Amino acid sequence: MYKIIVAAVLVFAIAVNADAQKKKDETPQPPPQLPMDELTHKITYEEVVDVPGKSADELYKKMMAWFRTYYKNPGEVIRENDSIKRSVTGKPRFRISNPPDKEGTRSDGGLVQYTITMAAKDGRFKYTLTDFNWKGNSYYACEKWYDTALPSHTGAMDEYLRQTDNYAKTTIADFKNSIINDKPGKNKDDW
């Protein structure tokens, strides 16, 4: 009888602990604070990166190679390409997903379009990612995801901010690695 009571208490303790852990995991986390431009109040990732010994022409060629390999359809992404000013502007998109449902399945949350601008000068380059817009029937500025007072605000928008931040940071890391470490672009014809 004693063993049955001890076993029942252990099963109960494990169940309570598992339930507490599950509730702890489900506690909503605050949305990440994405970098905001002080003047425009738009989400903006921007940096000037020093690359000593590299000419502006060399950096510009690397930027173009990166655009051609990173995006599936660079012809659609690139909107301005100025070889004189050594700058490139693109408007790519990426897909976001809704938070997982009770079964853990994620559904499509839509597309986010943004503007990426890169420019090169001797010994340095600058990148800017800004104008993040959620594409739907009309553009919806992603900065509105922070406004919990809006009737259209949902808890999923915190997850959208996390995905946007992760995407931007991954894109920046890939670009910087490609330029700084002399990582050659992948030639689509070289198989």
DSSP 31-72: PP---B-TTT-SB-EEEEEE-TT--HHHHHHHHHHHHHHHSS
Asked if residue 189 is part of any domain, the answer here is no
Q: What is the pLDDT of residue 152?
A: 83
Asked if residue 4 is part of any domain, the answer here is no
Q: What is the pLDDT of residue 181?
A: 82
CA distance 36 to 14: 45
Instruction: Domain of residue 133: give its range.
Output: 30-180
Relative orientation angle of helices 56-70 and 156-180, to the nearest 10 degrees: 130
| Residue-wise pLDDT tens digits, 95-132 | 999 888 888 888 888 999 999 999 999 999 999 999 99
Across the range 61-87, mean pLDDT stands at 94
Q: What is the pLDDT of residue 162?
A: 93
The CATH number of the domain holding residue 119 is: 3.30.530.80
Asked if residue 190 is part of any domain, the answer here is no
Domain count for the chain: 1
**Does residue 77 contact residue 68 with C-beta atoms inside 8 Å?**
no
Asked if residue 14 is part of any domain, the answer here is no
| Residue-wise pLDDT tens digits, 18-43 | 554 554 456 667 778 999 999 999 99
Tokens 């090169």, residue located: 120
